[in-house]
Structure 1
Amino acid sequence: MAAGSTICKAQLSMADMDRNYYETHEITIAQHPSETQQRLMIRLAAFALNAADRLTICKGIGGEDEEPELWDKNYGGDIELWIDLGQVDEKRLRKACGRAEQVIVYTYNQKSAQAWWRQNSTTYARFKNLSVRHLNAEGIDKLCARTMRLQCNIADGELTMHSELGDVVITQEIWQ
């Protein structure tokens, strides 16, 4: 954790109708000084969309390059799911696809993400265990607080996050 990081606590009450997954997760997450509230909340949205008992939020910005934003390791230590955010470079994706059974990249800034995808989609098509999804999450930053209680409902791939600060509907575009 970088000096000056803000520690946030989130309680995610999950109701994922697509996977029949209903759990509550208590999460402590460090917000790096250079990380926006939007990006922090995108990390929580990515967690919600893939919630599982062993899914772990890693160090994020300022962390080690050896770790993704989130991962799910089996009991033998093998990486079953590697999740990164933003516009990931080819070298990092090649390494991730070699180490993990499944890799998901969530992009979130529409204009820059579309330009990045147009430039890299042909190259990334060769990674058979890679999924690239764009999150339309307008206003997600308004849910950010030091302590959060979020009700996360997922149906038909659409995530709705509710808190005392408001509601946000997050849709996904599957690019690969």
Structure 2
Amino acid sequence: MALGATIYKAEINIADNDRAYYGSHAVTVARHPSETEERLMIRILAYALYENGDERLTFTRGLSEVDEPDLWRKDLTGTILQWIETGLPDDRRLLKACGRAGQVVVLAYGRNVAIWWASMASKLERARNLKVYVLPVESTQKLAALADRNMILHFNRQDGTVWVSSDKAEAEIEIQALN
């Protein structure tokens, strides 16, 4: 018998001073059986970083579907405006995404980001609609500690740094651009 997804509910309060966006959102996120809480929380972080109030940014089936990113924003015609990946995707996947979407964003994390980027940078330099960011390992581990099946999260972003807090703890994440 296959394991089912675990459902997490989050109330997300965003104060993004870099984009002048302020809003609250209730989201339900399914955690795939093979997904870590760290990856789940990075997907929620991505939502907080890119939600702009148009309510078109959605979580996809993620790990369950190879042709979908972790999040995407589509217009009313179904055109993919924004494709958001977390982790260390391969170059073919990213180049294909760049052909399908107006903007592709990668939030890279983990101990092997430097090795991954060293092998990817030259392969991806022609992708003009791709932005790659790195999240420090210590920060993403603190972010993972905030995970709870029902959570209230506060995201405050200023000058490229995000402060995330809940009733359990807090995490500070410096987002660094790689390209």
Counterpart in the other structure of 1:12: 12
Deviation at 1:74, TM superposition (A): 1.3
Deviation at 1:33, TM superposition (A): 1.0
Are 1:74 and 2:75 an aligned pair? yes
Name the CA distance, whole Å, in 2 between partners of 1:75 and 1:175: 32
Native 8 Å contact 2:160 2:175 kept in 1? yes
Are 1:143 and 2:146 an aligned pair? yes
What are the equivalent positions in structure 2 for 1:56-75 lying under 5 Å apart? Answer: 56-61=58-63, 63-75=64-76
Are 1:46 and 2:46 an aligned pair? yes
Alignment gaps of 5+ in structure 1: none
> What TM-score, normalized by structure 1, do the two folds share?
0.94
Q: Deviations over 1:8-59 (max 9, x none)?
A: 0011011111111111111100111111111110111111111122111111
What are the equivalent positions in structure 2 for 1:1-176 lying under 5 Å apart? Answer: 3-52=3-52, 53-61=55-63, 63-109=64-110, 111-136=111-136, 137=139, 138-176=141-179
Runs of 4+ aligned residues of structure 1 deviating over 6 Å after TM superposition are: none
**Identity value in percent:** 42
**When the two structures are aligned, how many residues end up with a matched partner?**
173
> What TM-score, normalized by structure 2, do the two folds share?
0.93
Name the CA distance, whole Å, in 2 between partners of 1:123 and 1:66: 20
Name the CA distance, whole Å, in 1 between partners of 2:162 and 2:74: 24
3-state DSSP class of the match of 2:21?
Answer: coil
The one-letter code sitting in structure 2 at the alignment partner of 1:60 is G
The one-letter code sitting in structure 1 at the alignment partner of 2:176 is E
Q: Supply the RMSD in Å over aligned alpha carbons.
A: 1.2
Name the CA distance, whole Å, in 2 between partners of 1:96 and 1:17: 29
Native 8 Å contact 2:160 2:176 kept in 1? no
The one-letter code sitting in structure 1 at the alignment partner of 2:102 is E
3-state DSSP class of the match of 1:48?
Answer: helix
Q: Deviations over 1:82-130 (max 9, x none)?
A: 0011111122111100010000011111x31110001111111110100
The one-letter code sitting in structure 2 at the alignment partner of 1:54 is R
